[in-house]
Amino acid sequence: MPRLRPSPMRIAHLNFARSWRGGEQQTLYLARFLQQQNVQQIVIVYPGSELEKRCQQEELPVFSIAARHELSLFSAIRIARLIIRDKIQLVHAHSAQAHAIALLVKRLCRLRGHEVRLVVSRRVDFHANKNFLSRRKYLTPLVDAYIAISNKVKQILLADGIPENKISIAYSGIDIARFSAPLSATRKKDLRREFKVTKHITIGNVAALSDHKDQATLLKAAALLLEQKLPPWKLFIIGDGELRGELETLAGKLKLQQQVIFTGFRQDIPDLLRFLDIFVMSSKEEGLGTSLLDAMAAGLPIVATRGGGIPEIVVHHKGGLLSPVQEPTALAGNLARLIKEPTLRRKMGAFNKKHVENFHYEKTGATTLQVYRRLLQS
């Protein structure tokens, strides 16, 4: 186990996700920011996960443990030993599974006479389960603070019974510098060749292929576009997930084989975003939507639903066009408008490139650090 150096603040992050999604990116950004602030920390992850690899690449202190489920007592015991040994003062749980394990860790540390503060990040805009165990998990006094990634998520926590004085909002942030350089002509040519795109307007969705992202509504909207007289267009669905096969089948039924490209998981998201003309998000539930922020940084106009926290970052009629959730006709209408109006696309893209400066990951980190300091000083 790596050891932490003496420091006035010692933090342990818990995130056991094996995949790479928005929550893992936010964990990495936060750890990077705290390292820049000389905060002593360790990121506790699942062995071989993408988060572990990226922490190692950035030389962030990382410790891996195979926590396979929420009640992994053996994992909690090992983590508690590390926390007691290194006199860690605060544990930050970055996912629902990490939340459950962190509760076990805090109890084990307390039995050994070591008190730690516990912070839990909440990233989703749906209510906690109403069963007894879930209620105990969220309403326990063992959690000292919740960090919601949007006001929408905060309102759901309040509705679930979490006291307001325990909830802070730290909007998710991104690394804007990843999108500062324009896409080279050579790379653009390579992508056009790879995807067999010529003079098409390119529309893209970057998200896990899961129920709450609702790409089914997006495909239905795309089918409605086929009925309109529009410039040539292609829709890129970028990402992977449990619904991929089902969505590909739906695309076939809607006769979209020539219009829709399923790219699968990609490592070159900044390049793909700068390759697109329009970004679309069809979620029916969304804590905030950091892929929207990435698209803004790439200078793209947005077509999206009003799901979850999306309206908190997309400015309607200035940076994008918003529609109700699960309404393909409205979504298709907004897409058609941007396909037909290149001047509006440029105007909205320029607005977003400026607006996204409010969502830099360093601002997220600074707000989170304030929460840590308040807890450790109280």
Q: Which domains, ranges and CATH numbers included, belong to the chain?
A: 10-173+360-377 (3.40.50.2000), 176-359 (3.40.50.2000)
- pTM for this entry: 0.88
Q: What is the pLDDT of residue 2?
A: 53
Q: What is the pLDDT of residue 3?
A: 57
Q: What is the pLDDT of residue 252?
A: 96
Q: What is the pLDDT of residue 337?
A: 98
pLDDT over threshold 60, residue 7: no
Mean pLDDT, rounded, for 243-267: 96
Q: Vertex 192, ends 191 and 196: CA angle to 5°?
A: 120
Mean pLDDT, rounded, for 177-202: 93
pLDDT over threshold 70, residue 128: yes
- Is residue 25 within 8 Å of residue 19, measured between CB atoms? no
Question: pLDDT tens digits for 74-103?
Answer: 999 999 999 999 999 999 999 999 999 999
Distance CA 230, CA 187 (A): 27
pLDDT over threshold 80, residue 375: yes
pLDDT over threshold 60, residue 368: yes
Question: pLDDT tens digits for 195-218?
Answer: 999 999 999 999 999 999 999 999
Mean pLDDT, rounded, for 251-262: 96
Mean pLDDT, rounded, for 20-49: 95
Q: pLDDT grade, residue 134 (50/70/90)?
A: low
Q: pLDDT grade, residue 124 (50/70/90)?
A: confident
pLDDT over threshold 80, residue 137: no
Residue 136: CB atoms within 10 Å: 11
Mean pLDDT, rounded, for 238-259: 96
Q: What is the pLDDT of residue 275?
A: 96
Helices 96-111 and 73-85 cross at an angle (nearest 10°) of 60
Mean pLDDT, rounded, for 250-262: 96
Beta-sheet pairing, 10-15 with 320-323: unpaired
Q: What is the pLDDT of residue 20?
A: 87
Q: What is the pLDDT of residue 67?
A: 86
Distance CA 332, CA 334 (A): 5
Q: Which helix (H) or strand (E) holds 270?
A: helix 269-275
Q: What is the pLDDT of residue 6?
A: 47
User: Which tokens in the block code for residue 97?
Assistant: 């599974």
Q: Give Cα separations from 289 to 16, 72, 99, 182, 315 (angstroms).
A: 21, 30, 21, 23, 14
pLDDT over threshold 60, residue 280: yes
Mean pLDDT, rounded, for 291-299: 96
Mean pLDDT, rounded, for 63-67: 92
Q: What is the pLDDT of residue 21?
A: 86
Mean pLDDT, rounded, for 329-350: 98
In angstroms, the first-to-last Cα distance of the chain is 30
Distance CA 144, CA 378 (A): 11
Mean pLDDT, rounded, for 1-6: 52
Cα Rg of the chain, angstroms: 22
pLDDT over threshold 50, residue 265: yes
Q: What is the pLDDT of residue 169?
A: 97
User: Which tokens in the block code for residue 213?
Assistant: 């992202």
pLDDT over threshold 60, residue 130: yes
Averaged pLDDT of the chain: 93
